[in-house]
């Protein structure tokens, strides 16, 4: 065999060897890509299942009868949620699918049991003020075993006429608590739970049940107005009639009186407070305790199925 023939055989051999190596490299690369995609899909399915858990906990805060939903598209996949009652707990079963429920490349399932928080609201008095407080006319503020009124040190509290303030003590002095200290969650989280109204007309909404969030000022003059739960007012509140059971939180000033309004629970105002007429504000532990029914369930146990 001449030299040209030998060279051809050597070149051919190297070419075949390179082809084998290239083919192996391509196969290895494809396997790595497939493996990585499986990991990514699995993680995405897991996060979709967790999204289902989060959705259920907040949905239950607004509607305790929420039973779940099916095939909810989200972020390149979908999830199912099933909620069942187990004694005093809610059991949430969430399944994430990628890319679709009908043809999943990945599926992850999470099962949790949830409970209501024990003491979601922290109040120290019937009325908490961030500014000067005036109690006049025949107004009554009753703190029972808590303080009647709590204000920051050095803040003016004026009681005149036939008005009465009772509690243990009658007046307490301490810094105004933050929103999160009172409700155990941020304003952003609370707003997600709430029915939101922007500068509503007088006496709107009626009734104000559950978690009600008023952007701006709120005025309630009707003796037929009523509500229960949590009422958040980002502006000023004028309450001249009706009845509310729960906690009212006012970021501005509060004026309560004239039309015999009644509050059973607590009122917190970051601004000044003017309580007059025949209004009555009395601390009621039972009404505040009932507010936990409007809070999201918290996770008691968690496991991946």
For the stretch 203-217, what's the b/e string if a residue is b when 16 or more beta carbons lie within 10 angstroms of its beta carbon? bebeebbbbbbbeeb
Give residue limits of the domains in the chain.
3-115, 125-293
**How do residues 144-192 score in pLDDT, each as one tens digit?**
999 999 999 999 999 999 999 999 999 999 999 999 999 999 999 899 8
Q: How high is the mean pLDDT of the chain?
A: 91
If one compares 199 and 133, the residue with the highest pLDDT of the two is: 133
**How do residues 14-30 score in pLDDT, each as one tens digit?**
777 666 666 666 666 66
Say how far apart CA 222 and CA 208 lie, in whole Å: 13
Of the pLDDT bands very low, low, confident and very high (cuts 50, 70, 90), residue 210 is very high
Say how far apart CA 256 and CA 104 lie, in whole Å: 59
Cβ atoms of 96 and 76 within 8 Å: the answer is no
Average confidence (pLDDT) over 66-93: 94
**DSSP-assigned letter for residue 201:** P
Output the pTM of the full model: 0.76
- pLDDT of 1 above 70: no
Pairing between β-strand 89-98 and β-strand 106-115 as defined by DSSP bridges: antiparallel
pLDDT for the residue numbered 12: 67
């Amino acid at each position: 065999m001449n030299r040209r023939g030998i060279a051809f055989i050597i070149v051919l051999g190297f070419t075949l060897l390179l082809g084998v190596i290239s083919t192996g490299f391509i196969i290895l690369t494809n396997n790595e890509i497939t493996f990585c995609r499986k990991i990514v899909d699995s993680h995405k399915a897991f996060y979709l299942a967790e999204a289902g858990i989060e959705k259920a906990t907040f949905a239950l805060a607004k509607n305790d009868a929420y039973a779940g939903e099916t095939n909810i598209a989200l972020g390149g996949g979908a999830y199912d949620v099933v909620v069942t009652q187990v004694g005093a707990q809610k059991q949430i079963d969430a399944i994430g699918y990628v890319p679709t429920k009908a043809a999943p490349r990945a599926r992850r399932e999470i099962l949790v049991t949830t409970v209501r928080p024990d003491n979601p609201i922290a109040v120290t008095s019937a009325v908490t003020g961030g500014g000067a407080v005036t109690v006049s006319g025949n107004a009554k503020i009753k703190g029972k075993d808590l303080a009647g009124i709590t204000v920051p040190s050095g803040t003016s509290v004026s009681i005149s006429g036939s008005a009465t303030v009772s509690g243990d003590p009658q007046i307490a002095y301490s810094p105004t608590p933050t929103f999160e200290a009172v409700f155990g969650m941020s304003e952003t989280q609370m707003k997600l739970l709430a029915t939101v109204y922007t500068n509503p007309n007088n006496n709107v909404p009626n009734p104000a049940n559950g978690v009600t969030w008023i952007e701006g000022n709120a005025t309630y003059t009707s003796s037929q107005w009523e509500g229960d739960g949590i009422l958040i007012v980002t502006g000023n509140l004028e309450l001249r009639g009706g009845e509310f059971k729960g906690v009212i939180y006012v970021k501005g000033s509060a004026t309560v009186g004239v039309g015999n309004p009644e509050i059973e629970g607590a009122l917190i105002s970051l601004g000044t407070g003017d309580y007059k007429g025949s209004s009555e504000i009395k601390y009621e532990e039972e009404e505040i305790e009932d507010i936990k029914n409007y809070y999201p369930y918290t996770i008691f146990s968690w496991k991946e199925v």
